Amino acid sequence: LTDEERVFLNAAYLGDVGVVRMSLEDRVESNLNINCVDYMGRNALHLAIDSEKMDVIEILLDNLSFNCIDEALLHAISKGAVKIV
């Protein structure tokens, strides 16, 4: 992971809407892979689901690839996160 990707994933987990939005807006200049995963294979949406950060989840749903969203939906179901599903 690059430093930018680490910041992006951490912001998603912590629910930092400002940093998530800024990362998405600047992704071309910073070469941010918005579908990046951490060492456990979790992308930003997985991390936002784990911490139940609804504002970040909504932003990410509008920006991530379908495959990331599909996997994250299954993740939310497995966690029993009804309000997310």
State the CATH number of the domain containing residue 75.
1.25.40.20
Mean pLDDT of 32-43: 91
Q: Is residue 67 part of a domain?
A: yes
Q: Is residue 32 part of a domain?
A: yes
The reply to whether the predicted model has a pTM over 0.85 is: no
Q: Decide if pLDDT at 67 tops 90.
A: no
Q: Is the dihedral of CA 80, 41, 6, 70 positive or negative?
A: negative
Task: Give the domain range for residue 40.
Answer: 3-79
Q: Decide if pLDDT at 57 tops 60.
A: yes
Q: How many domains does the chain have?
A: 1
Q: Is residue 84 part of a domain?
A: no
Nearest to 24 by CA among 43, 8, 13: 8
Nearest to 84 by CA among 56, 59, 64, 57: 57
Per-residue confidence at 77, pLDDT binned at 50, 70, 90? low
Q: Is residue 85 part of a domain?
A: no
Q: Is residue 9 part of a domain?
A: yes
